[in-house]
Amino acid sequence: MNITFSKDIETLRQAILDQGRVIGNDILKVDSFLNHQLDIPILNAIGRAFYDHFGHLSIDKILTAEVSGIAIAAIAAQYFHVPVVFAKKTLSKNLDPDTWEGSVYSYTKGQTYQIRVAKRYLQAEEKVLVLDDFLANGEAIKGMKEIIDLSGATMAGAGVVIEKSFQPGAEMLKSLGVEVHALVRISSLENGQINL
Amino acid sequence: MNITFSKDIETLRQAILDQGRVIGNDILKVDSFLNHQLDIPILNAIGRAFYDHFGHLSIDKILTAEVSGIAIAAIAAQYFHVPVVFAKKTLSKNLDPDTWEGSVYSYTKGQTYQIRVAKRYLQAEEKVLVLDDFLANGEAIKGMKEIIDLSGATMAGAGVVIEKSFQPGAEMLKSLGVEVHALVRISSLENGQINL
């Protein structure tokens, strides 16, 4: 291919190809650097790549969802110079009762759960960038869009580290008016092969 | 008091005093900067303060537990130049079946749950620093110590952002041989007052 990538995207692509492990035909494990063990220089490359794409948009806040989005969003936020809010999956004594809620359907569990953000941490005048690790069915980002819409804030866009473009998330989100920018798109995981 | 604090500790103390909200006599909510919304400059101050204390110990890896420790550990790891591993609370298809497990008793829920780290991400020759947001009863850190002990790695110490020193965690951990360094110690939250 004649496509050239920035050094940061190349770092990420190489990590996926070198360290990614394929389970079945649709699961890519990148837990050596992205969502169990965290490789900080790779997270910095990811943060810079998001800033490279979204940095001109005058973002006020980054929204992500626990658990896997948190480290990505926190490191990326250093380039945007904005706070992060992460949507919570569980009610706890530490969460305000006054929250905006979004629904997320889990295909693996066959059920819908709620994600929540305390109302005080999203303001109507804010421009919000959504970041997450994976885009597959798009449910988490849809849930975060619901939260942003309820708050009256503006969703500036969504960035994901890895899009599994053989799954329908990007199309579904596009139909809702959300353009997703994926740093790396995976076209197939068939036969244990990672095809970028 | 005649105690002087580094600028980073002072930043953290001020955030706790200005933004902390007391619920009842023992809950301190710091969700405006530490565990729901994330204030990145404060997380950087926390990371530097941990490095200031533990930086001479030739740490190989930082271990924390989901959810609240992740952002703290990821930002702090930038100063230590080491990877992070976060222990997981839930079994999922993304977690290796081959894990080290630790037990955490939840006083609020009245039950014990397991936290897990994939064996491949802790090596016997590694020196591991445990970081977390709060120290109250010490259960999460005890669970992480169990994981480190099982792996054969060495626990270099434990750092917490906030110790509620009126709760028994620090004493209990000391009895297990774990010295905890708290960036800020809270002696009481009675009558809605934050006493450092």
For chain A, give the DSSP string. ------HHHHHHHHHHHHH-EEETTTEEE-TTTTSSEE-HHHHHHHHHHHHHHHGGG---EEEEETTTHHHHHHHHHHHHT--EEEEBSS--TTS-SSEEEEEEEETTTTEEEEEEEEGGG--TT-EEEEEEEEESS-HHHHHHHHHHHHHT-EEEEEEEEEEETTSTHHHHHHHTT--EEEEEEE-B-GGG--B-
Residue B63 has pLDDT above 80, yes or no: yes
Please indicate if any CB of chain A lies within 8 Å of the CB of B51: no
pLDDT score at B4: 63
Of A36, A86, A120, the CB nearest to B95: A36
Interface contact flag, B70 A75, Cβ < 8 Å? no
Looking at residue B89, the DSSP 8-state letter turns out to be S
Q: What is the overall mean pLDDT for chain B?
A: 95
pLDDT score at A193: 96
Higher pLDDT, B25 or A30: A30
Residue A2 has pLDDT above 60, yes or no: no
pLDDT score at B1: 44
Name the least confident of A60-74, A122-136, B2-16, B22-36: B2-16
Interface contact flag, A39 B83, Cβ < 8 Å? yes
For residue B2, what pLDDT band results from cuts at 50, 70 and 90? very low
Please indicate if any CB of chain B lies within 8 Å of the CB of A119: no
| Chain B residue with the nearest C-alpha to that of A20 | B94
Higher pLDDT, B174 or A91: B174
Please indicate if any CB of chain B lies within 8 Å of the CB of A70: yes
% of chain B exceeding 70 in pLDDT: 97
Please indicate if any CB of chain B lies within 8 Å of the CB of A22: no
ipTM: 0.96
Q: Distance, in angstroms, between B75 CA and closest chain A CA? A: 7
pLDDT, mean of residues B97-102? 95
Q: Are A66 and A83 in contact (CB under 8 A)?
A: no
Interface contact flag, B74 A43, Cβ < 8 Å? yes
A96 bridge partner residues: none
Please indicate if any CB of chain B lies within 8 Å of the CB of A37: yes
- Burial pattern A128-155, b for ≥16 Cβ within 10 A else e, equals bbbbbbbbbbbbbbbbbbbbbeebebeb
Residue labelled with tokens 């749950």: B113
Residue A167 has pLDDT above 70, yes or no: yes
Tokens coding A138: 């798009």
Return phi, psi of residue A81, to 5°. Answer: 55, 50
